[in-house]
Amino acid sequence: MAILGIDEVGRGPLAGPLVVGAVILPEVWPEWVEELRDSKKLSVKKRERLADLVLNEATAGLGWVMADELDAVGISEALRLATRRAVEEVQKKKVAFSQIVIDGKVNFLKDTAISGYVSTKVKADDLIKEVSAASVVAKRARDHYMYEAGERFPGYGFLKNVGYGTAEHLKALNELGICPEHRKSFEPIRSMVGFDRNGDGIINKNTSEVGERGETAVCDYLMGLGHRIVVRNFKTRMCEIDIVSVMGEKIYFTEVKYRKSDVAGGGLSAITSEKLKRMEFAAEVFLKLKPGYKVYNPILAVADVGGEEFLVKEWFPLVV
């Protein structure tokens, strides 16, 4: 009786996707099946070879949940989504199975038509070959994704840590801020950016709802331009900065202004000479408290957000 084995990779990293593998092995096992075990216990070379064999000779599917979707739905729902997506990929190949084994204690297929076929088993990834195979293909797929992410976002050590919170990675977060691959709902990133899933993304509970939504829109806009968000709502008793971000050799201190309409001149009308002085002072305080960022060229910037949809109408550096 064919078994569909299921395992996940990427539950705990600070960056990158969650990936679930689902595999049905051939009815007659090739010799290489005996080599399968928990992917974490295999060398990279052996894992690569076995992953190729599984993908070429078995029936496999992968389910992905990217970091932004994981932040939106939470880790539990992400596990359910990725599992169901992986199973759907296998089902498309029309290969019959009579039993499903999921590594761990949770049936992520509960409330589906195939829930009755599911059994769960702790350490199944090392005890049941189909689950081991799922672990291997999921691990290889996620690692390769993170290697490519490391090329797109250098400095975080993704080639080595594949998104996990190593000392090197945490140091880079402190120095560089976050990139689009980071999970904003995971600590310590959650505290860095003030994430609240019940809102619209990155928020700080100490700001107004309107301010939160405007700053969220600007954070998303800046990351789309290639910025790394260093901190949001930096505050001291003397000053505050809405958004601090880094791109290239520059560090930007952005003031976010929102107006529902342009009747009063738009959000940029609020940037007076006095406000510019306060922005300069806040930037100086930030750099004094965080001297590691003094290697960057400081730039003041302003973002104009408007309308019911909180659209970023303008963002540009200021020449002071």
Q: Collect all residues with Cβ–Cβ distance below 8 Å to 26 and sequence separation of at least 6.
A: 57, 58
Whole-prediction pTM value?
Answer: 0.65
Residue 66 lies in a domain: yes
Our count of domains for the chain comes to 2
Co-location of 51 and 138 in the same domain: yes
- Could you list the residue range(s) of the whole structural domain that residue 81 is in? 3-152
Residue 142 lies in a domain: yes
Q: What is the CATH number of the domain that holds 265?
A: 3.40.1350.10
Nearest CA to 205 among 190, 217, 220? 190
Q: What is the pLDDT of residues 65-113, one digit of tens each?
A: 999 899 888 999 999 999 999 999 999 999 999 999 999 999 999 989 9
pLDDT for 268 beyond 60: no
d(CA 236, CA 238): 5
Chain-centre distance for alpha carbon 206: 24
Domain end call among 152, 174, 209: 152
Cβ contact 101:135 at 8 Å: no
Q: What is the pLDDT of residues 218-250, one digit of tens each?
A: 998 999 999 988 888 887 766 788 999 999 999
Residue 21 lies in a domain: yes
Co-location of 199 and 146 in the same domain: no
Co-location of 22 and 128 in the same domain: yes
Percent of the chain with pLDDT over 90: 61
Co-location of 215 and 270 in the same domain: yes
Co-location of 120 and 222 in the same domain: no
Q: What is the CATH number of the domain that holds 15?
A: 3.30.420.10
pLDDT for 7 beyond 60: yes
Residue 14 lies in a domain: yes
